[in-house]
Amino acid sequence: MTAIRSIRTRADLHGRVAIVLGLARSGAAAARFLSDAGAVVTVYDRRERDALADAVRSLGERPIELALGVPEEVARGLIEAADLLVTSPSISPHFPTTEPWLREALSAAEERGVELVSEVELFLRLTRARILAVTGTKGKTTTTALLGSILAAAKIPHAVGGNIGEPLVERSEELDASTWAVLELSELQLPTISRGAEIAVYTNILADHLDRHGSLEAYRAVKARLAQLTLERRGAVVLNADDAGCLDLGARLAGELHWYGLAPGEAREACETDGQLVLAGAPLMAVAEVPLPGAHMRRDVLAAALAARLGGADADAIAAGIRSFRGVPHRLETIADRDGVRWINDSQATIPVAAIAALEASAPSPIVLIAGGQGKGLDYPAFADAAAQFCRAVILIGETAAELERLIGERVAVQRAASMEQAVALAAAAARPGDVVLLSPAATSFDMFTDYAARGDAFREAVARLVTTSPGGSP
């Protein structure tokens, strides 16, 4: 087998035969970057060109070959000819959710010595920026975005990327050692990274994506990779003392660990005491000033505050960044008030524990819940108990509707809907003044929508139409 040189500098990309697998946002950015660096680039996506018109336009006039919607045998040939493969985070020879033929082709490429990297991994290899990485099952987007708000308030140079914001690979040379790259990293990206962070933040480690990883232990092992690589570089790891998964991870780590949690404790550097957020033993701001609802989001605030302090932000800037932050779409986002009913979009709650947190955050208002979607091998009894406790009515959609109705139906009024439009109409009929209508599905969206954002957008649009067409309504 001929050795293929590893990518360590931009110059290593010149002349490489690179195949980019997937033309979503990060794939398009990687294709542009590779082409500008002198690689011979082909992009493969199983979708047809018409479905990717915006992404294709973003490539400009670069000499990038497009293999969109081509037969399997054509894609196999491209992979066999490549000496560099840049994959979408969801594509891996090790994920059972990747198509079998593609897993086989990627495995064969690895055996030939071809590197499989992601856009994030390319950025990590090539940039001199300081890395502040955020991972976790839930809360990582809010925490990452909040860190951006705090660093902006502190006037600390930074860029926000990874799963949130812009793909940063095209800025890998621009961002220097005086700049923080704040990266949200999911379990899809962690298996391929080779570099840890200067500061790694964990929001929690819950049960999720078992369809992809096979077991909770395997999922936790993937999540642990960021901390392990970070500590190898003598970086710092920030952990949630209220989370069993973080406690388990921390017990197996040796190095610089920093803890946060709602209740005060000896090792907790960020917590709540007497109605105040406390950071490094000093009051930071009143809990009532935090603009995000729910205890789970206040933990995200504590995580961001502690990480920002480690990154050089002072207390005044941290408090200012928190006060000015207005949250992230699809995460307990109030989208309308109509006739005394508040409509909340929490489409990103794709697992039961996240939806339970949303129910707790929306209480004590009576709740009309819209839930259901595609399951991931997760258990729903605890979610059913919470729905029975907090909800006036439950509207069920998607593949998990039958299971959820079996668990909930005898304890609270349940109706099924075939579409988001119908679910919103049924929720409007069930809600009373003072109620909250909450979309918090406790399941993924892929049975009915392309992703959780499309599901949340459909909810928003259906509510807007309802508000517009109903007498007396006001958005």
422-475: pLDDT as tens digits = 999 999 999 999 999 999 999 999 999 999 999 999 999 999 998 655 444 444
Centroid of chain to Cα 147: 15
Give the Cα separation of 225 and 213 in Å (integer).
Answer: 14
Does residue 213 surpass a pLDDT of 60?
A: no
pLDDT tens, 53-87?
A: 999 999 999 999 999 999 999 999 999 999 999 99
Confidence category of residue 51, pLDDT binned at 50, 70, 90 = very high
Helix axis angle for 140-153 and 295-310, nearest 10°, is: 50
Q: Which of 5-14, 76-85, 194-203 has the lowest mean pLDDT?
A: 5-14
- Please provide the average confidence, as pLDDT, over all residues in the chain: 93
Does residue 47 surpass a pLDDT of 50?
A: yes
Give the Cα separation of 140 and 164 in Å (integer).
Answer: 10
Domains of the chain: 15-117 (3.40.50.720), 120-323 (3.40.1190.10), 333-468 (3.90.190.20)
Give pLDDT, residue 164: 84
| pLDDT top residue among 138 and 210 | 138
Give pLDDT, residue 283: 98
The tokens describing 19, both together, are 């195949």
pLDDT tens, 216-253?
A: 788 888 899 999 999 999 999 999 999 999 999 999 99
Give pLDDT, residue 186: 87
Give pLDDT, residue 472: 44
Name the percent of the chain lying above pLDDT 70.
Answer: 96
Give pLDDT, residue 91: 86
For the chain, the distance separating the N- and C-terminal CA atoms, rounded to the nearest angstrom, is 64
Dihedrals phi, psi of 93, to nearest 5 degrees: -65, -10
Give pLDDT, residue 358: 94
Q: Which of 167-171, 209-213, 306-310, 374-378 has the lowest mean pLDDT?
A: 209-213
Confidence category of residue 209, pLDDT binned at 50, 70, 90 = low
Q: What is the mean pLDDT of residues 21-43?
A: 96
Give pLDDT, residue 471: 44
Give the Cα separation of 319 and 305 in Å (integer).
Answer: 8
The top-scoring range by mean pLDDT among 219-223, 280-284, 326-330 is 280-284
Confidence category of residue 29, pLDDT binned at 50, 70, 90 = very high
Q: What is the mean pLDDT of residues 144-148?
A: 97
pLDDT tens, 151-173?
A: 999 999 999 998 887 899 999 99
